[in-house]
Amino acid sequence: MNEDVSRVIFSEQELADRVAEMGAAITRDYAPVADEGIVMVSVLRGAAIFMADLARAIELPIEMDYMAVSSYGNGAKSSGVVRILKDLSSEITGRHVIIAEDILDSGLTLQYLMKNLQSRKPASLEVATLLRKKTRAQADIRCRYTGFECPDEFIVGYGLDYAERYRNLPYIGVLKPELYQ
């Protein structure tokens, strides 16, 4: 798999350091409301690795839950059609919800998800995204916690995939274009 990556953008150590910083910020920001209940929601499958590491970096009681949504299929670009494949198991009404997202690309999926979760009346709803792509046509989404800005290239690793491959790379790198074009 390593030979399919043209270059590494964020190393394993850079990812670990930044996730630890994000966890410390969440711990600081949510300490006053921790007794009200904090639910971290991972968007499967890509964000599962990020959320697991982020959860370990937060020094507060949290509940972890998962949603599966689809807008990509096996393609390299979002289809724009969002489907919920697996909904939350937890009740989030009156609780503080943090969406752990792997990457904010077009933002269409996250925008849909935020609207859906907001309709369930959480006490607060914030986004912690590991990566935010620099794209011109991105939905206007405020991320309270952002790990890194990244180039508008097709990237894989640390949960990010192409056709369900490369998620287990410990770093984030650029996939060679000939593999997905």
Q: Catalytic residues, which ones?
A: 105
Q: Where are the beta strands (DSSP E) in 5-156?
A: 5-10, 38-44, 63-70, 83-86, 96-104, 124-133, 145-150, 155-156
Pairing status of strand 172-175 against strand 155-156? antiparallel
- Rounded to an integer, what distance in angstroms lies between the CA atom of residue 134 and that of residue 122? 29
> CB atoms < 10 A from the CB of 56, how many?
11
